[in-house]
Amino acid sequence: MIRFEEVTKIYPGGQQALNRVNFHLQPGEMAFLTGHSGAGKSTLLKLVAMMERPTSGQVFINGHNLNKITKKQVPFARRDIGMIFQNHRLLMDRSVFNNVALPLIIEGYHLSDIKRRVAGALDKVGLLSKINNMPNTLSGGELQRVGIARAIVNKPPLLLADEPTGNLDPHLSVEILKVFEDLNSVGVAVMIATHDLGLIARMKYHTFTLRQGQMIHDGLSSSDLRESEFEPVI
Amino acid sequence: MSLLFSQRKSHGASNTNPGHRLVMYFIRHLQQALASVGELWRMPISSLLTMAVLGVSLALPTTLHLLMKNGQQLRGSWDSAAEITLFVKEGISDSQTQKVLRRIGLYEQVNDVTYVAAEQALEEFKTLSGFGDALSYLDENPLPSVILVVPSLQYSSPEGARELLEKLQRQPEISFGKLDVTWLEKLTAIVNLLEDAALGLGVLLLLAVALVIANTIRLSILNRREEIEVLKLVGATNDFIRRPFLYTGIWYGLIGGLIAWVCVSLILWWVEGALLDLASQLGSELTLSGLNISEFLILIALSTGLGWLGAYGSVMRHVYEIEPENQL
């Protein structure tokens, strides 16, 4: 689903964010991307989302080389990727319905389709009753779930989540992860970047670990990871 | 539609029927046009203020245009300024004079011919000059017979009138002609100068309109930076993002143009009252002509076009600049 081949990213100014990274996320797989701040997690996700381009090497999604996607094609390619952000990035001046409907409006769906799909996506994250609420009336966990609903509303085959539980307490984090697991069970590939090791420890999922821009661990579960790889999470 | 996953279908507008797609295209444009009205309505005071600025800026060149238009009409009524006076040679008989009058009257360059016989001229001179008694001591009439020629509109300009004068002087019955064009030339020069100045001022004010709209749209884009970033993240094209801003610019221009029209109509109404007063004192008829339909449509089209142009300039610079690179 996502394949990196010798990907190096050096930002203007000389900061090397990724150094010859190779990995492969299988279709329909759910995996974690870990590493402490500055290890290159965000850069890796940005390369997948085409917000940045690699300095060298190649990124493939579903066999398509992203280097060959032109600037004009980027918006269309992004419609195949659902993205979830730590700070949810909802538009606070629009209702939950309008936020979740955004990807469908952009693609020009009929209103009847939009209504049906938004209701379906909100139902999946358990927030159908809040469809007409404004975001500022929702809790942090609910906002994050609205963000997930927006990411899945047009049924993308790939989901990227950057620290989706970063602002949530452990109980809510487990709830959010349950949503990802449900989505994964119907065939959506999910990649979750997180430094919340406690979260990963409970689950047996493929884990990619970055340190200083290099992929140092690519294996199942995190049980064999030494805690010393990470700085304490504050 | 799907670029990376060919097996994936999006069920929305990507209907295969091209006619239906075209209809949907217009429906979406209409939706976004109406949505941008809603956007203006969210901040009614500041939107109205901007539109008022545009209206006043557009009202000035429009008023200047009306001034020039009415001035030209007024100048048209001063055609006789280019009246040519022809002096008939001595010893020309009445029948010969009549023939000349008829001949000149047939020229297409000539609008009107009046004959003032020597006796008639003397009578007029007696009554108007106040030398009545003194003149009666003269043995014979010192005044020649005179033909007054009014050139047609195309020949009332200084050059045209002069050309006509030369032609008329070649008539054998005419001793010579006179044309007082220097003041007409001065008037023409002054009017041309004023027209040029008005044109320059008009262009500057129209430029100001485009710049005001460009700046307003720029601020509106920067205010909605967050929204634009999110839209780009969920796959909106630049075209999609810039459309509401272009429509906002068009609305600004359109409503600004309408405000300008209202302003000009008010000015006209105001001036007409004063003019009526002046006309009744002068005992003549003075009317002002306002904007006709085609001029009104040009004003609206121009203001709307400027709105679009200003918005387009801003959008091209700022919407493309905003990229969701800093946060993910």
Q: pLDDT category, A224, cuts 50, 70, 90?
A: very low
Query: Inter-chain contact B235–A64, Cβ cutoff 8 Å?
Result: no
Would you state the pLDDT for residue B212?
92
Would you state the pLDDT for residue B51?
93
Nearest to B328 among A45, A90, A106 (CB): A45
3-state secondary structure chain B: CCCCCCCCCCCCCCCCCHHHHHHHHHHHHHHHHHHHHHHHHHCHHHHHHHHHHHHHHHHHHHHHHHHHHHHHHHHHCCHHHHCEEEEECCCCCHHHHHHHHHHHHHCCCEEEEEEECHHHHHHHHHHHHCCHHHHCCCCCCCCCCEEEEEECHHHCCHHHHHHHHHHHHCCCCEEEEEECCHHHHHHHHHHHHHHHHHHHHHHHHHHHHHHHHHHHHHHHHHHCHHHHHHHHHCCCCHHHHHHHHHHHHHHHHHHHHHHHHHHHHHHHHHHHHHHHHHHHHHCCCCCCCCCCHHHHHHHHHHHHHHHHHHHHHHHHHHHHHCCCCCCC
Exposure pattern of B2-28 as b/e (b: 16+ CB <10 Å)? bbbbeebebebbeeeeeeeeeebeeee
- Neighbour order of strands in the sheet with A158-162: A81-84, A158-162, A189-193, A30-34, A206-211, A214-220
Q: Which of A170-174, B7-11, B163-167 has the lowest mean pLDDT?
A: B7-11
More confident residue, B286 or A72: A72
> For A105-144, how does the pLDDT look when each residue is reduced to its tens digit (9 = 90+)?
888 888 888 999 999 999 988 899 999 999 999 988 899 9
- What CATH code is carried by the domain that includes residue A171? 3.40.50.300
Q: Which of A195-209, B209-223, B308-322 has the lowest mean pLDDT?
A: A195-209
Quote the CA–CA distance of B253 and B303 in Å, as a whole number. Answer: 5
Domain count, chain A: 1
3-state secondary structure of A64: strand
> For B9-18, how does the pLDDT look when each residue is reduced to its tens digit (9 = 90+)?
554 444 556 7
Q: Please report, as a single letter, which amino acid is at residue B80.
A: S
Widest CA span in chain B: 118
- The predicted model gives B251-278 an average pLDDT of 90
Element (H, E) at A83: strand A81-84
> For B178-208, how does the pLDDT look when each residue is reduced to its tens digit (9 = 90+)?
876 677 778 778 888 888 988 999 999 999 9
Mean pLDDT, chain B, as a whole number?
82
Would you state the pLDDT for residue B90?
79
pLDDT at A229 over 70: no
CA distances in angstroms from B221 to B4, B43, B218, B227, B246, listed in the order given: 30, 15, 5, 9, 11
B142: tokens are: 């010192």
Would you state the pLDDT for residue B10?
52
Indicate whether A29 belongs to any domain.
yes
Q: Which domain holds residue A168?
A: 2-80+156-220
Q: pLDDT category, B309, cuts 50, 70, 90?
A: very high
Q: pLDDT category, A103, cuts 50, 70, 90?
A: very high
How near does any CA of chain B get to the CA of A146, in Å?
14
B291: tokens are: 């904007």
More confident residue, A141 or B259: B259
- The predicted model gives A33-41 an average pLDDT of 85
Of A166-175, A180-189, B21-30, the range with the highest mean pLDDT is A180-189
Quote the CA–CA distance of A145 and B247 in Å, as a whole number. Answer: 33
Cβ burial, residue B111 (10 Å; 0-12/13-18/19+): middle
More confident residue, B285 or B312: B312
**Contacts with B69 (C-beta within 8 Å, 6 or more apart), sequence order:** B289
Q: pLDDT category, A232, cuts 50, 70, 90?
A: very low
% of chain A surpassing 90 pLDDT: 41
Report the 10 Å Cβ neighbour count for B36. 22
Quote the CA–CA distance of A160 and A173 in Å, as a whole number. Answer: 16
Of B13-17, B27-31, B153-157, B315-319, the range with the highest mean pLDDT is B315-319
The reply to whether B326 touches chain A by the CB within 8 Å rule is: no
By C-alpha distance, the chain A residue nearest B323 is A51
Query: Inter-chain contact A157–B237, Cβ cutoff 8 Å?
Result: no
Query: Inter-chain contact A109–B5, Cβ cutoff 8 Å?
Result: no
The reply to whether B3 touches chain A by the CB within 8 Å rule is: yes
pLDDT at A47 over 50: yes
End-to-end CA distance of chain A: 33
Q: Please report, as a single letter, which amino acid is at residue A122.
A: L
What is the domain partition of chain B in residue ranges?
23-76+187-321, 82-181
Q: For the packed helices B182-223 and B238-282, what is the interaxial angle rounded to 10 degrees?
A: 150
Model's pTM, two decimal places? 0.74
> For B64-108, how does the pLDDT look when each residue is reduced to its tens digit (9 = 90+)?
888 888 877 776 655 545 678 888 887 778 888 888 888 888 888
Would you state the pLDDT for residue B7?
64
DSSP class of A92: T
B289: tokens are: 């002509």
Indicate whether A123 belongs to any domain.
no
Indicate whether A86 belongs to any domain.
no
A110: chain B residues, CB-CB within 8 Å: 12-13
Would you state the pLDDT for residue B32?
83
A163: chain B residues, CB-CB within 8 Å: none
B324: chain A residues, CB-CB within 8 Å: 51
Indicate whether A30 belongs to any domain.
yes
Q: Which CATH number fits domain B82-181: 3.30.70.3040, 3.40.50.10800, 3.50.50.60, 1.10.620.20?
A: 3.30.70.3040
Indicate whether A87 belongs to any domain.
no
Indicate whether A31 belongs to any domain.
yes
pLDDT at A38 over 60: yes
* Nearest by Cα to B172 from B88, B253, B46, B294: B88
Instruction: Return the number of CB contacts < 8 Å for A and B.
Output: 100
3-state secondary structure of A10: strand
pLDDT at B147 over 80: yes
3-state secondary structure of A33: strand
Indicate whether A49 belongs to any domain.
yes
Question: How would you classify the pairing of strands A206-211 and A30-34?
Answer: parallel
Indicate whether A17 belongs to any domain.
yes
